[in-house]
């Protein structure tokens, strides 16, 4: 199941997110999410590992009218999320590796900053793909980020909770997706919190490279079917028999 936030960690994480730069980062991550999955009014979206509900709250502001659901393994995280969202989302306690929802129950499944704390990223992605019918979104702090590498293991961006996290790279997550879902369409973009100098064009190019601090990856879920040849059986056609009158009294058509 991985790491479950206790009371103290949940409070520390909530305070960390209240800082202006981290709140702005959460909004940028949610904007990237909306851009990649393109949800419509009334679509059902599940946030797996919703934590304090910051992503759900941002989505509710950016794209009003979504049917939002959140799930987390920490009761303390859910308590904070409930106060923040004020009945704007349905919240459930459960593990990301065994979701308590039916197949294709949601249009979108979101796994945002969750894989860092789970025991089996493969099981989480498989479960997320099972309950979503349109797209799967995975957001994560990139292990190969040019700026984040020196701070990994010490507490990312001043948050000691991340010292317990396991960071993955874009290639590792892509490999997991390919192994589970086959060659499904993938789209990824990165967020660089300290963008390189060189103008807007260079900035756009950099966001397409796999070295940003935060990576958002959208997976279009394509139904997979097993087919086999279908055997058809038909009676052999019989020659039509002519009556005695047709045999001896054929009209002369010359």
CA–chain centroid gap for 113, Å, is 11
Q: What is the pLDDT along the chain (254 residues), one digit of tens a residue?
A: 688 999 999 998 899 888 888 889 899 999 999 999 999 999 999 999 999 999 999 999 999 999 999 999 999 999 999 999 999 999 999 999 999 999 999 999 999 999 999 999 999 999 999 999 999 999 998 887 655 544 444 445 556 677 778 888 888 999 999 999 999 999 999 887 555 444 454 445 455 555 667 899 999 998 755 556 666 666 666 666 555 555 555 555 55
Q: What is the pTM of this model?
A: 0.79
pLDDT at 155: 45
Alpha carbon distance 65, 59 (integer Å): 10
Question: Which residue carries 């040019």 as its tokens?
Answer: 146
Cβ partners under 8 Å of residue 79, min gap 6: 10
SS3 content of the chain, % helix, strand, coil (to 5): 40, 20, 40
Burial of 157 (0-12, 13-18, 19+ CB in 10 A): middle
The per-residue pLDDT for 177 is: 96
Q: Which residues pair with 168 in a beta bridge?
A: 142
d(CA 94, CA 33) in angstroms, rounded, equals: 23
Tell whether domain 7-225 is in CATH 3.40.50.150. yes
pLDDT on residue 99: 97
């Amino acid at each position: 199941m991985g790491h479950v936030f206790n009371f103290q960690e949940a409070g520390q994480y909530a305070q960390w997110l209240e800082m202006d730069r981290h709140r702005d980062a959460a909004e940028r991550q949610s904007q990237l999410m909306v851009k990649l999955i393109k949800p419509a009014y009334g679509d059902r979206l599940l946030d797996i590992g919703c934590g304090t509900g910051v992503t759900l709250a941002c989505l509710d502001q950016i794209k009003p009218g979504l049917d939002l659901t959140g799930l987390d393994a920490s009761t303390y995280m859910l308590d904070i999320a409930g106060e923040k969202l004020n009945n704007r989302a349905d919240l459930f306690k459960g593990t990301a590796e065994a979701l308590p929802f039916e197949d294709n129950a949601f249009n979108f499944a979101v796994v945002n900053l969750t894989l860092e704390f789970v025991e089996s990223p493969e099981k989480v992605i498989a479960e997320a793909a099972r309950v979503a019918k349109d797209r799967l979104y995975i957001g994560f702090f990139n292990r190969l980020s040019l700026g984040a590498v020196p701070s990994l293991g010490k507490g990312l961006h001043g948050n000691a909770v991340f010292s317990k996290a396991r960071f993955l790279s874009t290639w590792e997550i892509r490999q997991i997706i390919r192994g589970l879902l086959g060659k499904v369409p993938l789209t990824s973009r990165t967020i660089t919190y300290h963008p390189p100098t060189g103008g807007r064009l260079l900035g756009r190019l950099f966001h397409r490279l796999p070295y940003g601090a935060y990576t958002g990856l959208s997976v279009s879920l394509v139904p997979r079917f097993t087919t086999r040849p279908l055997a058809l059986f038909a009676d052999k056609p019989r020659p039509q028999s002519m009556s005695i009158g047709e045999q001896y009294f054929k009209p002369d058509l010359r």
